[in-house]
Structure 1
Amino acid sequence: MSDSLEILVSRLERNDILLGKNKNYTSFAGYNGVPLTEISCVPSAAVSQNEIPPLVSALKASAEENAASFHFPGHNRGQAAPSSLTQLIGAKPFLHDLPELPELDNLFAPEGPILEAQKRAARLFGASETWFLVGGSTCGIQAAIMATCSPGDTLILPRNSHISAISSMVLSGALPKYIVPEYDFKWDVACGITPSQASTTS
């Protein structure tokens, strides 16, 4: 199987889990034939093939309500979206672009569909728990670094890491050890660093 096809198949398999399809498999994804990650996913047997995930169901039900919208986002369920954009993609995508409404659970302390989505994401990632970010990638990176690094610790990271990693190191007192990632000219992207690269870093 070619690298690009293997990556595509892996992404489709992962989407199956997020969409609630019942599959048991081990998925590999990698560049140049080298698996970078192995994810074992064993979804609950109670999930049926055609079941719509709870968060998707909640969004769909909320979007179908004939209710006036006085909350953000400002496109007002598509009614106030720029015509240049609705002509391109239609108005339907905006119907499901909804904030934290009571029926859609609470990102900060989920108890309903968001909690179930996080549990499914954890199974997908092979993690004991997964939390969705409530403030973008910056807060997630800062939380991860500040929760694991103390002043004087060395943090190994790629040279092209997110800028929030710099502020996180300033706040935590960690010291960087940069690795230049390999570049994939076929995809025109920088790859991630591998465990072997990290282990050989002095």
Structure 2
Amino acid sequence: MIRVVLAEDQAMVRGAFAQLLDLQPDVTVVATAGDGDEALAAVAEHRPDVLLTDIEMPGRTGLDVAQELQGEQTRVLIITTFARSGYLRRAMDAGVAGYVLKDAPIAELVSALRRVHAGERVVAPELAMAAWDSADPLTPRERELLQEVTTGASNADIAVRLNLAEGTVRNYLSTAMAKLGARNRSEAANTARERGWL
């Protein structure tokens, strides 16, 4: 029996997935979670074989949770609506065992779940091609600063939070804008987010 914790912030989607998975003769959903913190707690309590998780959730994202579970016995299968190459690269860096899209037929999801449980890595083919074609040009520091921009922080605020000179913040953001072909820092942050690099 494959024991699964299911993490998804949309209650209706979470309930539908749980019911569909419980119809499988070799799968049981031992717990569900509405955000990353609940997912970590459920994994700690139930020690499932697989954590099936969305990426974008309140608090910790599915990628954050996967990062924290690296080295644990629970394998992580990401299921998301976002076919963003940056997300896939970050997921692989976090040790995720599988990455599939929500619009795939349930049979494909169940197949991916079984394969991940058996020790394989599974990636939806359309995601693999997108990741191959689109490398993240940003440095970790540029990503960190652009993430701050998404919160609405000014350059001065970012400088204080990250203990940098305001000129240094401006230089990093200018470099990131140039790499992304953006006219301003907000556009650069939005572009990086849309591509899954933040």
TM-score by length of 1: 0.24
More helix by share: 2
Task: Point out the structure with max Rg over C-alpha.
Answer: 1
Greater relative contact order, per chain length (Cα 8 Å cut-off, separation 6+): 2
TM-score by length of 2: 0.24
